[in-house]
């Protein structure tokens, strides 16, 4: 190795490479991830390596992930160690080594200091069977992650439990979307990232977000906020059991919750205007990323006045519901844009998995824009549909909202 960060191989780095060598010799390596890339290649994101058996040889297969595609390169154990050393002196600032019994997280601080954290895996890890190539579909989340087993998504062998297939797909899709947003907003280069997940429920996604950010080598602080105390207690117990310091859960109502310094605001399936409160809080706190998947759009429906030409369509209740949903989420997207965000509204995962399948993703712009035309569009829509009040708009304008949401109603 060759720079100031590793002169005479820093003792922490030496311990890490010794553990890597041992894991390769004993064939106990489960996975190796190189992340927090800060080098010159604009597209390079990370390497994920797993053992494979090729022509009877135990090797490490490195998947090179870029912003657009992945490629694979295979190394014999001795070459693999040299390759990892080279990558850690050429732009990668974090390495995670998972073995059957431990996890080693090596990070290089901004000042070039090596930091090593070792944690014991609960109940032993998944045995590191060298895999035949490409049998398993490439996913963003590794099935072997301990939290998946603790939450009942996978069994003790690390296989996805059949009844949890939908949740597994949702977790992967969610992390894929988040990963792209984290890169595009520059949060991947921060040393610390603070996430708030409102209406965290059983917290599958909250754990997944924490795990993903930690594996990127970031100092992640993730807070799940949930109305129901038993779920809060359950999730805190699980996080503690897994030794996940930085992940915690608080009992609270998003409508009254005060938060500061949040980088990523998540609200998935928070019902009705709880989504508006969450978005408002995200905007107020200057979050770089706001992600929500709204549900039960009750607020605008009773206010809708069908313009005459639409009356034959909107006389059907189902169409009225769809119209109210489109208008509510369309207005939320516009209000986010007027507040300095680039916003997308898209299908989160297909209808076969859940009926709550819409995602609003907002990423804070580097440069502010003139939002007067957007406010005019919002005013025109309200006039067209006869809308008197929409909660997010009211909150952004500093007003108070008279009604509250029945959170058990959806
Ligand atoms: C459908 S679950 C979604 C759980 C999780 N976010 C997910 O997507 O898998 C919605 C959760 O939000 C909680 N919730 C509803 N309204 C809330 C509010 N105003 N403040 C905090 N939590 C709320 C509910 O108790 C429930 O656990």
What pLDDT digit, counting tens, does each position of 294-307 carry? 887 888 888 888 78
Q: Closest Cα to residue 248, out of 289, 292, 288, 200?
A: 200
Q: Which of the listed residues 208, 226, 272 should we mutate to test ligand 1's pocket, taking the one with most ligand atoms within 8 A of CB?
A: 226
Are the CB atoms for 226 and 201 separated by under 8 Å? Answer: yes
Q: What is the pLDDT of residues 31-57, one digit of tens each?
A: 999 998 888 888 888 998 988 887 778
pTM exceeding the 0.75 threshold for the entire prediction: no
Domains present along the chain, CATH in parentheses: 4-138 (no CATH), 165-400 (3.40.50.150)
Report how far residue 99's alpha carbon sits from residue 371's, in angstroms, rounded to the nearest whole number.
52
Q: Are 151 and 200 in contact (CB under 8 A)?
A: no
277 lines ligand 1 (CB under 6 A): no
Q: Is the pLDDT of residue 195 over 90?
A: yes
Of the two residues 69 and 221, the one the predictor is more confident about is 221
In this prediction, residue 101 carries a pLDDT of: 86
pLDDT at 19 (0 to 100): 94
Check residue 6 and give its pLDDT: 47
For ligand 1, the distance from its centroid to the CA atom of residue 282, given in whole angstroms, is: 17
pLDDT band at 355 (very low <50, low <70, confident <90, very high): low
Q: Ligand 1 centroid vs 228 CA: distance in angstroms?
A: 8
Backbone angles phi, psi at 348, to 5 degrees: -80, -65
Q: Stretch 382-389: mean pLDDT, rounded?
A: 92
What local confidence, expressed as pLDDT, does residue 409 receive? 44
* For residue 12, pLDDT beyond 80: yes
Give the mean pLDDT of 375-382: 95
In Å, what is the CA distance from 307 to each residue of 50, 324, 375, 381?
60, 13, 21, 11
Instruction: Tell me: pLDDT of 352 over 60.
Output: no
Q: Verify whether ligand 1 is closer than 6 Å to residue 268 (CB atom).
A: yes
Chain centroid to CA 80: 29
pLDDT at 122: 63
CB of 201 sitting under 6 A from ligand 1 = yes
SS3 content of the chain, % helix, strand, coil (to 5): 35, 25, 35
What is the per-residue pLDDT for 286? 94
Quick one: pLDDT band at residue 232, thresholds 50, 70, 90?
very high
- Rounded Cα distance between 73 and 60, Å, is 8
Strands 289-295 and 358-364, sheet pairing: antiparallel
- 182 pLDDT higher than 50: yes
pLDDT band at 79 (very low <50, low <70, confident <90, very high): very high
Averaged pLDDT for residues 143-163: 89
**Mutational pocket test of ligand 1: of 151, 171, 196, 199, the residue with most ligand atoms within 8 Å of the beta carbon:** 199
The alpha carbon of 165 and the centre of ligand 1 are apart by a number of angstroms equal to: 21
Q: Which ligand 1 atom is the nearest neighbour of the CA of 266?
A: 6
Q: Which range, of 206-210, 265-269, 285-289, 340-344, averages the lowest pLDDT? A: 265-269
Give the span between the Cα atoms of 389 and 360, in whole angstroms: 20
> Which position has the higher pLDDT, 237 or 354?
237
Q: Tell me, what DSSP letter sits at residue 124?
A: -
Confidence of residue 134 (pLDDT cuts 50, 70, 90): very low
**Average pLDDT in the 186-206 region?**
91
Average pLDDT over residues 4-23: 79
Under the banding of pLDDT at 50, 70 and 90, the label for residue 7 is very low
Residue 270 CB less than 6 A away from ligand 1: yes
The response to whether residue 272 sits with its C-beta less than 6 Å from ligand 1 reads no
Closest residue by Cα to atom 20, ligand 1, is 253
Q: Which atom of ligand 1 is nearest to the CA of 225?
A: 21
The CA distance from 93 to 176, in Å, is 21
Q: What is the mean predicted confidence (pLDDT) over 265-269? A: 90
123 or 376, higher pLDDT: 376
Separation CA 141–CA 176 (nearest Å): 9
Mean pLDDT, the chain, as a whole number?
86
Q: Which atom of ligand 1 is nearest to the CA of 405?
A: 19
Q: How far is the CA of 14 from the centre of ligand 1 (A)?
A: 45
Residue 127: the pLDDT is 44
Q: How confident is the model at residue 123 (pLDDT cuts 50, 70, 90)?
A: low
Where residue 140 falls among pLDDT bands split at 50, 70, 90? confident
pLDDT of 137 above 80? no
3-state secondary structure of 70: strand
Q: What percent of the chain has pLDDT over 90?
A: 47
Q: Is the CB of 281 under 6 A from ligand 1?
A: no
Residue bearing the bigger pLDDT, 367 or 122 = 367
Assess whether pLDDT exceeds 50 at residue 133: no
Tell me what the mean pLDDT of segment 198-226 comes to: 92
| Pair of tokens at residue 383 | 């006039």
| pLDDT class of 356 with cuts at 50, 70, 90 | low
């Amino acid at each position: 190795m060759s720079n100031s960060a590793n002169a005479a191989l820093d003792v922490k780095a030496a311990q890490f490479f010794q553990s890597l060598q041992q894991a390769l010799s004993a064939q106990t390596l489960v996975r190796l991830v190189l992340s927090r890339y800060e080098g010159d290649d604009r597209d390079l994101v990370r390497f994920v390596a797993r053992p494979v058996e090729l022509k009877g040889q135990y090797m490490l297969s490195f998947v090179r992930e870029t912003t657009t595609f992945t490629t694979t390169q295979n190394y014999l154990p001795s070459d693999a160690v040299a390759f990892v050393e080279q990558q850690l002196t050429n732009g990668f600032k974090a390495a995670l080594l998972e073995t059957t019994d431990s996890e080693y997280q090596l990070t290089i601080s901004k000042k070039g200091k090596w930091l090593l954290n070792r944690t014991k895996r609960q109940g032993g890890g998944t045995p590191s069977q060298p895999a035949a190539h490409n049998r398993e579909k490439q996913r963003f989340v590794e099935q072997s992650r301990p939290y998946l087993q603790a939450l009942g998504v996978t069994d003790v062998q690390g296989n996805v439990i059949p009844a949890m297939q939908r949740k597994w797909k949702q977790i992967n899709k969610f992390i894929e979307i988040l990963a792209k947003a984290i890169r595009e907003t520059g949060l991947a280069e921060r040393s610390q990232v603070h996430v708030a997940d409102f209406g965290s429920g059983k917290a599958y996604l909250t754990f997944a977000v924490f795990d993903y950010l930690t594996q990127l080598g970031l100092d992640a602080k993730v807070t799940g906020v949930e109305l129901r105390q038993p779920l809060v207690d359950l999730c805190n117990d699980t996080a503690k059991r897994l030794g996940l310091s930085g992940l915690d859960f608080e009992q609270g109502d998003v409508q009254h919750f005060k938060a500061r310094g949040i980088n990523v605001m998540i609200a998935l399936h928070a019902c009705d205007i709880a989504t508006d409160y969450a978005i408002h809080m995200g905007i107020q706190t200057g979050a770089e990323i706001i992600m929500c998947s709204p549900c039960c759009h009750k607020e605008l429906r009773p206010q809708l006045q069908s313009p005459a030409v639409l009356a034959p369509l909107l006389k059907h209740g189902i169409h009225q519901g769809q119209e109210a949903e489109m208008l509510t989420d369309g207005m939320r997207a516009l209000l986010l844009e007027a507040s300095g965000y680039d916003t997308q509204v898209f299908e989160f995962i297909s209808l076969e998995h859940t009926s709550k399948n819409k995602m609003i993703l907002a990423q804070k712009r580097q440069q502010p824009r003139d939002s007067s035309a957007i406010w005019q569009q919002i005013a025109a829509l309200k006039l067209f549909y006869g809308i008197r009040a929409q909660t997010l708009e009211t909150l952004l304008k500093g007003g108070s909202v008279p009604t509250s949401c029945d959170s058990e109603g959806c």
